[in-house]
Each structure stands twice: as structure tokens, then as C-alpha cells.
Structure 1
Amino acid sequence: MSELNVAIIGTGIFATNAHLPALTKSKYFNPCACYNRTKSKAESFAATSSTITTVYDNLEDAFEDPKIDLIDALLPVQFNLDAVKLAVKHKKNISLEKPIAATLAQAKEIVNISRNNPDITIFIAEHWCYYKSIPLLKEAMSKIGNVYSFTYHSTGQFNFDNKYLATAWRKKPEHVGGFLSDGGVHQLALLTGVVGEIKTISARTKQIREASGVDDIAYSLAETKSGLIGTFTYGSAFGSTDKKCFFEIMGDNGSIHFDFSPGKKETISLKIGGGSPESASSSEEIEIENENRSVDTEFEILGEALHSGNFSKVISTPEVAFHHLAIVDAMVKSSADGGKPYPVETI
């Protein structure tokens, strides 16, 4: 099996700390080229790698290079659509960092481009889609009778040392919801991966930290397409407090509590019973070992798909990523309209 040659465009913190190590260790990929609009930064990035031998002068050079099989794009999201258009023009597969785009209009265009160009792979790098907890939670849901509601909660203290918040495109976000879409789509990948797509949402959002650029906390009530009702609470902009992350799912014959707070063993607590006076009760603790918190798994899945032509394991499609951004868009619109329920836009 020959390795696929990868050009990394955008050589910032996440490219250095996450993507380059994952691509380097993968049996599927050979990161061999890079580009940054500040060439000296690309040259410094290339110097950290034993495999990168080409540093491009211009962005389009990466797409024109005949030896490149995959463009790994880590750009401010408002430039994702332009990168996709270049990929189609030059017949290159492309991986985009989440969120899929800055606006729903851009995201919809990426989806349509993907549908109209089936010979080009457009992969959204949303690694939360590949969490081990998702199939385990879905299996647990099948054991608690008819499912009616959920509570998704992820809040924490503001991190003044967060190196990612210092990037210019995050400090002055052009992407809808700013922090709420940049980090929130992670949470929504987990939520919707388990309970399915959201149909309507009523939300209130506020901004606590100037560094966030726009609103950075969200409290909302949602209904899924399948009829579940639940709450989605998200924000890490508060003062001193513990980081609390949990996901509860309630049925008429049991319940699920998933605690994924940092520093704790990630555990699914499953309780069965209560459907009738005669129903037997039981409980089970399911520990999740080595959750897929790095980007390694998503690149292994992408690599396997590109080599085999079988994309059945690819979850983070443009359509899925569009839905995550559409939920944030509906939350922002709802909040601006006094919390009025808003439909989540579909394609």
C-alpha cells in the first residue's frame, strides 16, 4: 500500500500539535508539503518534520502539485469554501477543520459542491464524531424503553491561557456564533450522534469574556426530529468553577447518565427498570477506555476510506457538519428574537 501524499495548508498551533503528528504516524499518509501565507512560518513548520520537503510560495501551488493526493486545510473557517473550490478545480481530495464554514450559506455551498463532485472527497475533521461513547450510548438507549428526553451539559471556568483563543480569527470571529460554533460543534457532534438531528431550538446566549469576540454561553431547549425533548447547555467562560460535562437520557423503563468531565473516568451509568410495577431493575457501569480525543482515529478512518474506496465508516460528512453549524445558527437567531423557537435549517 503506497502512502497518500499530503499538503498541509495552514501551519498554526493545531497543525503542529495535532495534525502533523497524526499524519506522520499513520500508515496511510505521507505529509510531504506545506503552505502558510507567512512563508517563514511554513518553513519553521517544515523544519520540525523529516518528511516535509516542499514549502509552497502560493496557496494554489499546493492544489496544482501533481504529487499531492490530499489537501489538509487548517484555515480560518471563512476561507474553507475557497479551498473547496480550488480542490474541485484541481481534482484534489480535501480535509477541512471544523466548523465547516463561517456561514450557513457557505456551508450549504460546500455540501452542494460535494454532492455534485462525487469523485472528490470533502472530509470534515470533526473528531468527536468518532467517539467510542457514541455507539455505547446508542446501545444503552435501546435498553431503557421508549426514550423521551435528554440533558446535555458542558460548562466550565474560563481559561486565560488558552492558546487557541489568541488566534486572530477567533478573537474577531466571522463564523456564526463565534466560540459557540468553534467549540460547540464538538458538543453537538456527540449530542446528535446519539439522539439524532435537532428539529427546533429555543435559546438564550450571552457574552461573558471580551476575548471570545461574541456570545460565549448558551442555554437552550431543543426537540429532535424523532420527538425527543431536551436541554443543551454550553459555555466555558465562567469564573472559578469545576468543569462539568454530563449527558443524561431518560426513558420510560430506565435512564442513562454519562459523565465525561475532565479528570474523571468516563463512565456510562445505565439503570433499567420502572416501566411497570413488575419490571425487573438492574444497573450497569460502562467505563470508556482511551476515548478518541486525538485526531488520530479520524485520519485512520479517512486513510482507510481513500485507499479502499469504502466510505461506510466516514461519519463527518459535509451534510453532518452542516447540521451542527445549523443548530448554532438557530440558537443565535432564537436568542436575538427573545428565545423564540427556531427551526434548524436543512438542505
Structure 2
Amino acid sequence: MAEGIAFLGAGLYAKETHVPALANIGSKALPLKAVYSRSETSVGELAEIASKQLGLTPDIYHDGDQSANLDALLSREDIIAVNIVLPIGQQPEYIVKAFEAGKHVFSAKPIGPTVAESVRLIKLYDAEYKPKGLVWRIAENFETEPGYLKAGELIREGRIGKVAFFNLRAVNYLDQESKWYKTPWRTIPDYQGGFLLDGGVHSTAALRVMLPSPITHLSSFASLNKDYLLPHDTIHTIAKAADGSHGIFEMTFAAPTTSLSQGNRILITGTSGWLSVENSRAVNAATGKEGPVLRVSVHARDEKGNVKEEVLNVPVWGVEAEWEGFLSAIAGLGDDGLSSPEGALEDVAFIEAALTSDGEILNLQNLISSSS
């Protein structure tokens, strides 16, 4: 019987991002054999989209049918891995349930709603499921985005000298008509930070793979500026890395207009130059079509003291890359070292500290250790 995968969750991200990603990686993907959701309507929509884009029709499972519910799906021997794309508060329960059924797990970021819950899951996985050969990866596509990885590679090569300071600006406008806001579990979040946790771990992951040294301390203030974005919508953070470099992490979902979002980028400054990464569009040399890219700009002095600029437009491929890495790992073909639970834990620790600091300097490792 041919091995395949299943989706647990049929929300927007599963429909609009994960299904197209599987289509894009083509023969590298295992067949999507089943989809599950509590709602028959939503899972039916996902199955229809998958049928059109992947050329196959997955079996439908939902809570309204006891003969075709989640337990029935997880009992199938031909499904060896699941992609869990569920609300943040529900993820841990389903992760463990999938492991108990002997499935490899690809679970949506963040790894858990809190540092304590994330640590609990990692310890459980390391003790009980990893020794059985089960693979667990966190679907954090910024971490696997080729543009951010390329930027980190250039920095580690010394293209801008030793990193001295950095700045991340992520200013977002989110109104109540946004399709992302209208997702019920986001409207009334049962987890800390609201969109700051949900979206913030993207930015921390990008910074994590770019900086040559891990962030160890931060001091931050958090606030709520739009009542419908409870419990917080804005953080301003000063962060320090182990190598002594330091910087600013600015994130909000409360911009008053979309125009304020212009200028979002990550800027890393070294002793002999600087590098920036921002979203843009450009023609893909391989396809000849215009599409989204991460624009990596390097400004550095050469041996003669002249400043030279190099611009790289790296096509966006993060979701496809994270799938390729996960599928390679479960096939025993190698581990790219990305999407690990431990890396995802660092991202949650950063956001949790930023939300709770209130100006106090917090040690991120102490936060993780105290939750063990």
C-alpha cells in the first residue's frame, strides 16, 4: 500500500499555502491521502482544492462521522505522517495524539502557546517518540526561506565584518475585515500575545538564522492600541546576542494605515558594511515570471576602501523548502538542521519575554531553564 500523508486542519493556511506548496515540489511530495477537520464543510473545501491542485482526491474525515473521525484516520497504516495546522491552543494535544498513533509530525508554528508547554512537548518527544524513529519538525517557513538563509551565509562569510548591531522592523496594518482576523480562534485568542505570538515567531526565526550568534537577553515593552487585537498588538524590544551585538526588534499589528508598513525590513550592520533583507518582487530567472522575492542588499567596503553594493533577488520558497526538509527527514535521506523543535522554542521564548519584560532585562535561557 502506497505511503502518504494527511492534513489535520482545514483552515486558510492549509488551503492557500500548504496545498500549493505540495503541488510546487511535485514528485518530492508524498500523496495527500486524507484530510481532517471538526467541520465537514471546511474539510470538504480543502479536499476539493487538493483534488484540483494535486490531481488526487483525499479521503475526508471529520467529527460529525464516528466511522470517519480523527481516530479512524490515525489508525490507517498507509498514512505515515501528518501536517497539523490547527489553532495554537489545540496543537499540543493533537501533536501527542499523532505521536501515540506512530505518525511523523509536521506541526504549524509556534511549537506551543508558551515556553512551559513547548518545553514539556520537547521533553516528551525526546523521551518517548524520538527513540522510536518518529520525526518532528515545526513548520516555520521564515526559518527555511532561502533569502534569509543566504543573508546569514553572507554574514558568516564576513562580508560585512563582525556584526555590531541590528534592526528588525515589522509594522503591520490589520483591520477587522482581514481574512486572517476573521479566523474565529484569532478573534478571541486563548494564548498570549495574539497576533504577536502567531506572527512574531516568523520574525524571530528569520533573525535567528541570519545572526551568527544567538540572542541571549532582552528588555521590552508591550501594549494594546486597537481593542480588537487583544491581548497585545505592539512590542518594542532591545535585544543582545551572545557575541555582544545588540539591536532593536519592532513589531506591531496596529499601524493606523497600510502606508506605515512601507519600509519593513531587517537591517544588520557590521564593522565593514551592512546588509538588509526586505520583501519585493522580481522576474524569476528560472521561470521567466515575476513573483515574490526576498531582496538581499549588501553594502561593504573592499580592500581599497570603496563601498560596493550587491543586490540578490532570492525567490520566495520557504514553505516548499520546509516541506522538502521534512519529507527528506522522514525518508531517511538527510536532515538539513532546520525546523527543529529546539529552534522553535527559542522563538517562543523571545516573544514571551518581550510580552512580559515590562522594561526588565530578561535572560532567555533562564526563561527556558525555569520551565524545564
| TM-score when normalising by structure 1 | 0.89
How far apart, CA to CA, are the structure 2 residues paired with 1:262 and 1:327?
30
Equivalent residue for 1:320, pick from 340, 343, 346 = 343
Structure 1 match to 2:41: 40
Partner-residue secondary structure (3-state), 2:204: helix
State yes or no: 1:343 paired with 2:371.
no
Structure 1 match to 2:140: 126
Equivalent residue for 1:333, pick from 349, 356, 371 = 356
Equivalent residue for 1:70, pick from 48, 70, 81 = 81
Q: What do the CA deviations read for 1:147-188 (whole angstroms, capped 9, x no partner)?
A: 211111111333443212111211121222111110011111
CA contact (8 A) 1:333 1:342 kept: no
Q: 1:342 to 1:58 in 2, by over 3 A?
A: same
| TM-score when normalising by structure 2 | 0.84
Structure 2 match to 1:30: 31
Letter in 1 for 2:180: Y
CA contact (8 A) 1:102 1:176 kept: yes
Partner-residue secondary structure (3-state), 1:148: strand
CA contact (8 A) 2:280 2:295 kept: no
Structure 1 match to 2:299: 271
Structure 1 match to 2:285: none
1:268 shift after superposition: 2.7
How many residue pairs were aligned?
Answer: 338
Q: 1:299 to 1:282 in 2, by over 3 A?
A: same
CA contact (8 A) 2:2 2:78 kept: no
Q: 1:3 to 1:205 in 2, by over 3 A?
A: farther
How far apart, CA to CA, are the structure 2 residues paired with 1:105 and 1:61?
31
Partner-residue secondary structure (3-state), 1:231: strand
Equivalent residue for 1:201, pick from 194, 209, 218 = 218
Letter in 2 for 1:32: K
CA contact (8 A) 2:4 2:81 kept: yes
1:279 shift after superposition: 5.6
How far apart, CA to CA, are the structure 2 residues paired with 1:72 and 1:108?
21
Equivalent residue for 2:320, pick from 296, 305, 321 = 296
Q: Which sections of structure 2, spanning at least 5 residues, go unmatched?
A: 63-67, 283-291
Percent of aligned positions with the same letter in both sequences? 23
Structure 1 match to 2:206: 190
Q: 1:140 to 1:314 in 2, by over 3 A?
A: closer
CA contact (8 A) 2:143 2:149 kept: no
Q: 1:54 to 1:171 in 2, by over 3 A?
A: closer
1:325 shift after superposition: 0.5
1:266 shift after superposition: 4.1
Equivalent residue for 2:334, pick from 310, 319, 341 = 310
CA contact (8 A) 1:104 1:326 kept: yes
Letter in 2 for 1:285: E
Letter in 2 for 1:288: N
Q: What do the CA deviations read for 1:31-61 (whole angstroms, capped 9, x no partner)?
A: 1111111233323432332320342532222
CA contact (8 A) 1:150 1:230 kept: yes
Cα RMSD between the aligned structures? 2.3
CA contact (8 A) 1:24 1:30 kept: no
Structure 1 match to 2:287: none
Most deviating of 18-27 and 91-100: 18-27
How far apart, CA to CA, are the structure 2 residues paired with 1:265 and 1:148?
26
How far apart, CA to CA, are the structure 2 residues paired with 1:153 and 1:172?
26
Most deviating of 32-41 and 259-268: 259-268
Q: 1:254 to 1:41 in 2, by over 3 A?
A: closer
How far apart, CA to CA, are the structure 2 residues paired with 1:3 and 1:271?
51
How far apart, CA to CA, are the structure 2 residues paired with 1:266 and 1:68?
35
